Amino acid sequence: MPKFKEDISLSKFSHYKIGGPARFFFEAKSEKDVQWAVKEAKKRRLPVFILGGGTNLLIGDNGFDGLVLRPAIQDITVKGSTVMVGAGVLMADLLKRTAARSLAGLEWAGGLPGTVGGAIRGNAGCFGGEVKDTVASVRSFDVKKMKVVTRTAKQCAFAYRHSIFKKKNGAEIVLSVTFALAKGNKKEITKVIQERIRYRKAHHPLEHPNIGSIFKNVPLHAVCRKGSVRYEKALRDLGLALKGSQFSVKTDPFPVISAGKLISESGLRGVSAGGAMISPKHPNFIVNVLDAGSVDVARLITLAKSEVRRKFRIPLEEEVQLL
């Protein structure tokens, strides 16, 4: 008979090494386990939070007074160029398996931390690619209706760092994903993955615990009207002048200006609160340099938002999730 663990520190499941205890904790190794845990939590009237790799989460110092449920389903089945993968598989492990089988389509995710379930929920993306690009279908568990649902990629309503699962805000748990990949060249695939990993090591402050980019990049159309002379010029020059500063416009996967550059131009590189610091290396990262608490990180998030708004009149929106 499965059993919930009690009073489990969440900081060891957090890429940030930040977070208080979960009152109850359960690692579900199968779809059946997920269903059992949800049923049990309902019986005990416990709120449920779904935890993946903890790489995009700021967990509060007070922890969670309910059940933290970790879908740790680890199956990977390859049939030709179709890959069925459990939500708990790390993206890094998936990439190893698909590269070994010469399957192309996920190379953009080289160095992307976290699980397949987390990547689906937030439609993770980088280097012009997004997880949605190769999804054929997603199986999930509907917590309200207590039933398994299968959706096509279109029905998942993927958008920029968004999906139907994010919209449902915990009411649906990703169980497994089917990717439709393409036959490719093993050497080429491995080369691109390694390049992405090298780029991340060179540009991201991986020497300190972190949760990746704190804010979404800012869509160009939020700064100037899409189709306007200024918008078109920004695209043509791949640059944009804002209050005396020059911002490069990049594709992510549509034209954006970098949140990191906005924070940097607001003079916040290296600013710290308690044990947390806005990374001087990549200012869209807030790093845990010295036993930071969630309160320290929250203070820097508030500061970055208010300074960027004050200087550029641009509202920054968090990419990370808060618990």
Ligand X SMILES: Cc1cc2nc3c(=O)[nH]c(=O)nc-3n(C[C@H](O)[C@H](O)[C@H](O)COP(=O)(O)OP(=O)(O)OC[C@H]3O[C@@H](n4cnc5c(N)ncnc54)[C@H](O)[C@@H]3O)c2cc1C
Question: What's the half-sphere exposure (Cβ side, CA atoms, 13 Å) at 146?
Answer: 10
Task: Please report, as residue ranges, which positions from 126 to 155 form the binding site for ligand X (by CB under 6 A).
Answer: 126
The string of DSSP letters for 169-232 reads TTSEEEEEEEEE-EE--HHHHHHHHHHHHHHHHHHS-TTS---S-SBPPEEHHHHS-TTSHHHH
Identify the residue among 110, 113, 260, 283 touching ligand X (CB under 6 A): 113
The answer to whether residue 266 is catalytic is no
In single-letter form, the type of residue at position 80 comes to G
> Among the candidate windows 120-128, 151-159, 180-188, 239-247, which touches ligand X by CB under 6 A?
120-128
Among 274, 279, 275, CA closest to 304: 279
Strand order in the sheet with 147-152: 76-79, 82-86, 172-180, 135-142, 147-152
Q: Tell whether residue 52 is a contact of ligand X (CB under 6 A).
A: yes
Site string for ligand X, 71-110 (x = CB under 6 A): x---------------x-----------------------
In single-letter form, the type of residue at position 261 comes to K
Residue nearest to ligand X (CB): 118
> Among the candidate windows 20-28, 202-210, 247-255, 305-313, which touches ligand X by CB under 6 A?
202-210
Q: Tell whether residue 283 is a contact of ligand X (CB under 6 A).
A: no
The string of DSSP letters for 50-71 reads E-SSSSSEE--TT-EEEEEEEE
Closest to ligand X by CB, 18 vs 112, is 112
Residues in the interface with ligand X (CB under 6 A) total: 32
Identify the residue among 118, 184, 260, 293 touching ligand X (CB under 6 A): 118
Residues serving a catalytic function are 161, 213, 319
List of residues contacting ligand X (CB under 6 A): 15, 50-57, 71, 87, 112-115, 117-119, 121-122, 124-126, 165, 173-174, 204, 206, 210-212, 321
